[in-house]
């Protein structure tokens, strides 16, 4: 009887394999992608990441592409189809357990990771793992231990989960396990999907850390997080009240340490604010994360006294909200110590702001500074130049307000 293994392959099946190979042949290109940049930075920082997203959104494909781009062997473990002993180890009785103890034998995938010395461990379907399996995963995620085996430093951990509503027999994540992850919510991008299906996906690249900025980045991150928690001590540890929110990102000393690490890496790599926001909110939650970001903005504001000391050389923030905040701080500093030379320096700072940015931001600070004038103070010559620009901006703002009011009136008229 002839073995089927010795029969020649069907020509049509061979052609089908060729066609499948062509369909699977894709390439990558450098392209801005905030989600991917956040993921790669957290991986570089050696922090466990949990990707949340609906089924079919592309979480697994993103991890496969990430492993290929970083040249890391990918080990996929479906958490929901494993037993707790697959992560905590299976007890093996030796020759003399009373003396040598009972070692916990690790599974094959962990042994292969240790043998390779590096790799990307992908824990999939985490939200369908039972509470007992989630408990066994705690040591894997935090201590990098599987049974008696210590995973090498070259192994990075990324997990994926579906929201409970869209998971098959889903469970909420236990708070101890959830608090060990950086939570990133994976969304599909139309352009990425369309171009990727055309054969070109965005390339995952590790962040480019500036070696000269490393000490500065660590100092900034520590100053930012410690300064923020000093003013908001109630956010040091806040366990959410609902089961669903406890399974996501929330503030604790552990997650604040994670946020500090991410902030240092993001500063050293000069990542965008959008990427930094994804990471910080993914570590400590939306509310505390947004408050920390606002605190960072305040830290970036220039000292108003330095601006008043040398107005022609004043360096003002480029972002409109930060620029206006800096100008308001200058006016507040003059108001706190109203002296003629300081009042005139305040006008010089506003002139500098007019020369380097949009004049509409000067309306409110100029009116406030004018209100600080004493009767015996002469108006500087620069004020006339500033007044013309501010007056134009003020009139434009009023015309827009009148137009909006007229439009609202017409809408009300139609409604009647």
Of residues 173 and 399, the one with the higher pLDDT is 173
**Residue 183 φ/ψ, nearest 5 degrees:** -90, 120
Kindly report which listed range (79-83, 295-299, 383-387) carries the lowest average pLDDT score: 383-387
Give the predicted TM-score (pTM) of the model.
0.77
* DSSP secondary structure string for all residues of 245-284: HHTS----HHHHHHHHHHHHHHHHHT--HHHHHHHHHHHH
According to DSSP, the β-strands at 27-29 and 200-202 are: parallel
Q: Which long-range contacts (CB under 8 A, 24 or more apart) does 299-305 make?
A: 299/223, 299/224, 299/227, 301/325, 301/326, 301/329, 302/326, 304/329, 304/330, 304/332, 304/333, 305/333
Lookup result for tokens 């669903």: 244
- pLDDT on residue 6: 58
- 304, 326 Cβ separation under 8 angstroms: yes
The whole-number pLDDT of residue 399 equals 43
**Residue in 192, 215, 180 with CA at minimum distance from that of residue 33:** 192
User: 171-209 pLDDT, tens per residue?
Assistant: 888 899 999 999 999 888 888 889 888 988 888 888 899
Residue 303 CA to residue 286 CA, distance in Å, equals 29
pLDDT top residue among 307 and 94: 307
- Taking CA atoms, 187 is separated from 37, 58, 60, in Å, by 14, 9, 13
């Amino acid at each position: 009887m002839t073995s089927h293994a010795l029969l020649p392959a069907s020509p049509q099946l061979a052609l089908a394999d060729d066609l499948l190979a062509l369909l699977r042949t894709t390439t990558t290109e450098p392209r801005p992608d905030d989600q991917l940049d956040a993921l790669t930075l957290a991986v570089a920082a050696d922090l466990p990441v949990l990707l949340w997203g609906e089924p079919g959104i592309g979480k697994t494909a993103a991890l496969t592409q990430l492993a290929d781009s970083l040249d890391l062997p990918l080990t996929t473990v479906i958490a929901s189809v494993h037993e707790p002993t697959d992560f905590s180890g299976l007890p093996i009785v030796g020759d003399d357990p009373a003396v040598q103890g009972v070692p916990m034998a690790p599974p094959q995938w962990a042994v292969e990771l240790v043998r390779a010395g590096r790799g990307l461990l992908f824990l999939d379907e985490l939200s369908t793992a039972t509470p007992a399996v989630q408990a066994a995963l705690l040591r894997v995620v935090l201590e990098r231990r599987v049974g008696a085996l210590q995973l090498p430093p070259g192994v990075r951990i990324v997990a994926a989960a579906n929201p409970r509503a869209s998971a098959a027999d889903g469970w909420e994540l236990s708070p101890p396990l959830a608090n060990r992850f950086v939570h990133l919510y994976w969304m599909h991008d139309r352009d990425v999907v369309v171009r990727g299906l055309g054969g070109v996906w965005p390339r995952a690249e590790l962040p480019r850390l500036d070696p000269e900025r490393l000490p500065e980045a660590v100092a900034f991150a520590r100053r930012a997080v410690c300064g923020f928690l000093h003013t908001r001590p109630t956010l040091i540890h806040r366990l959410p009240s609902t089961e669903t929110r406890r399974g996501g990102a929330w503030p604790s000393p552990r997650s604040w340490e994670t946020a500090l690490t991410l902030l240092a890496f993001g500063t050293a790599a000069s990542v965008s604010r959008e990427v930094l926001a994804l990471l910080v909110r993914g570590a400590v939650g939306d509310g505390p994360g947004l408050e920390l970001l606002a605190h960072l903005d305040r830290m970036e504001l220039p000292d108003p006294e330095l601006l008043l000391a040398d107005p022609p050389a004043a360096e003002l923030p480029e972002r409109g909200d930060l620029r206006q905040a800096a100008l308001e701080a200058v006016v507040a500093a003059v108001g706190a110590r109203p002296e003629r030379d300081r009042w005139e320096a305040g006008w010089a700072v506003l002139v500098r702001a007019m020369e380097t940015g949009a004049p509409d931001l000067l309306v409110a600070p100029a009116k406030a500074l004018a209100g600080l004038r004493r009767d015996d103070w002469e108006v500087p010559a620069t004020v006339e130049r500033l007044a013309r620009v501010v007056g134009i901006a003020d009139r434009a703002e009023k015309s827009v307000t009148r137009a909006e009011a007229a439009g609202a009136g017409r809408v009300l008229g139609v409604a009647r």
